[in-house]
Structure 1
């Protein structure tokens, strides 16, 4: 049985995705995965065609379409623009380029068959993804929209200088109901960037000590978490470490096992909190990271 062009594109891009994620330690931003594929694979005119309706490149759309198979198969997860290779996905690399995709599609159909029995005949591959499985094609497009939106938010935050990022964190805390007592000015801050309380006068416990690091491409180390713990002088103090990047596994372990109460807020958690409390912000706070929500018809899957 001859393979469709869509399947051929899917085989090489999905396999490349799995290898890229494995080499990156298991996870990477989806945009970076796509960029890496673009650097390592040469695509012909058909594969590089840009759809007039969506503006997306054919091979990128097909890749996103088949990542849904991989997610339902348990090989891949997506979280706020980050693609994560599961343990099962890493093992699936050994199947090879062709069998990996066939296995993922088979597992997806088994899942879909249980959800909607008899809807898809076993063994038939998609000749045209927009015609054979409209629902999955729509999910793929929405996935691309979501990743583009998330990348736009990330790029906006990355463009801020450290003091603007610090102000953004302070704005979020205010929207969450905290009262800012102090924001560090330029110069040495002794490991304390923001001090906040739960009441206007700071008479109630706890006192909240906030350390802010604007390093979008770096991990916060365990040593840095330890230093924050060292600034908590009162028994009731709570430490919050906010970064525009991520925390290393040792840093997460350090915060979890610390005698002091330390909350870690990485980029993903920061943006989630910003979206959650956005409606409670005034115009000045919203302008620190302006958002415009758009709602699409979803599904119950």
Structure 2
């Protein structure tokens, strides 16, 4: 039977890390795997599919990333993979693929042994056999649970983010206003279609709008990140007693984030799609039934991987 060696897995991982490090914010897992497959030459065995479904190459990489996450080298959040500073250092410290993956496996084993109720005599999933083989029966391991969890989260976030990005701009604007109401703010005005003067929503901490600060909100449902120039245009409409909220489905450039973070005269908070969704989930129970229909969510419980 064909085998995947530790060295080969290390080659996949090192190339994957190089791809992720070439971006500022990481990549969606599927895009990262797609780019990785284009950079390496897969053997017929690696390119083949498991009987249970899924290409063997992708399963090998996904299972190996579990070691990297527990080693502190890789972060997975809402389907996006990014390399930590520790991962960047490991890429330099262990230039040989075999040593790179061996170190990740060792750190995973140390993490596993540190878990409550861990059996020190238990063979740690991911530690390779002396023959340097990786078992083909991956679906029975603890890592299979982690991979299933990752794939479910990726699928869910892909559908949610696509739904939000495709929403009518004014419907999306109303969604943000509904969220502010659920957070106990009092929305006094939502911009109708047409020119809005740079402000889409006005809100206050109290029902009568007598207690500062006044909250001015700009909402951008767009694919591209908001630039520092776009942020400055919004800050220009903020008064001394105003607080600005800038919501953008495309996120913000690094320069824009730095500009907001270092402001001394203008108080402004940037909310990207991830943060908006987290707030929606956090305050979901306080949303009206009408508001929930804008982005209806239903929790599904399944076995979670060890943390």
Range class of TM-score, shorter chain: 0.7 to 0.9
Q: Measure the CA separation in 2 of the matches of 1:197 and 1:85.
A: 40
Q: Given the alignment, which residue of 61, 64, 67 partners 2:65?
A: 67
Task: Quote the residue 1:263 is aligned against.
Answer: 269
Change (3 A) 1:128 1:90: same
Cα distance per residue 1:103-122 (max 9 Å; x no partner) = 21122112223333332366
Matched, 1:175 2:175: no
Show the 5 A alignment for 1:105-124.
Answer: 105-115=105-115, 116=118, 117-120=120-123, 124=129
Structure-1-length-normalised TM-score: 0.86
Tell me if structure 2 keeps the 8 A contact 1:193–1:211: yes
Give the drift of 1:51: 4.7
Cα distance per residue 1:72-131 (max 9 Å; x no partner) = 122111222221112232233341433322221122112223333332366636423536
Task: Quote the residue 2:246 is aligned against.
Answer: 241
Q: Measure the CA separation in 2 of the matches of 1:101 and 1:42.
A: 19
Task: Quote the residue 1:285 is aligned against.
Answer: 291
Task: Quote the residue 1:274 is aligned against.
Answer: 280
Q: Measure the CA separation in 2 of the matches of 1:160 and 1:281.
A: 19
Secondary structure of the 1:293 match is: coil
Tell me if structure 1 keeps the 8 A contact 2:9–2:97: no
Change (3 A) 1:136 1:6: farther
Q: Measure the CA separation in 1 of the matches of 2:296 and 2:43.
A: 39
Q: Measure the CA separation in 2 of the matches of 1:43 and 1:167.
A: 48
Q: Measure the CA separation in 1 of the matches of 2:196 and 2:123.
A: 62
Tell me if structure 2 keeps the 8 A contact 1:69–1:108: yes
Cα distance per residue 1:138-161 (max 9 Å; x no partner) = 111111111111111111112224
Matched, 1:100 2:108: no
Give the drift of 1:62: 2.4
Q: Given the alignment, which residue of 102, 117, 128 partners 2:136?
A: 128
Show the 5 A alignment for 1:132-143.
Answer: 134-143=141-150
Tell me if structure 2 keeps the 8 A contact 1:78–1:84: yes
Worse-superposed segment, 113-122 or 259-268: 113-122
Q: What is the total number of aligned residue pairs between the two structures? A: 296
Change (3 A) 1:224 1:62: same
Cα distance per residue 1:169-221 (max 9 Å; x no partner) = 122222222222222233332211111123333233221100111223x2222
Q: Measure the CA separation in 2 of the matches of 1:111 and 1:76.
A: 14
Show the 5 A alignment for 1:83-94.
Answer: 83-94=81-92
Tell me if structure 1 keeps the 8 A contact 2:145–2:305: no
Q: Measure the CA separation in 2 of the matches of 1:296 and 1:44.
A: 34
Change (3 A) 1:90 1:190: same
Give the CA RMSD over aligned residues. 2.7
Give the drift of 1:289: 1.6
Q: Given the alignment, which residue of 221, 229, 252 partners 2:227?
A: 221
Tell me if structure 2 keeps the 8 A contact 1:206–1:238: yes
Give the drift of 1:65: 1.5
Tell me if structure 2 keeps the 8 A contact 1:26–1:86: no
Q: Measure the CA separation in 2 of the matches of 1:246 and 1:210.
A: 15
Give the drift of 1:14: 2.1
In structure 2, runs of 5+ residues without a counterpart are none
In structure 1, runs of 5+ residues without a counterpart are none
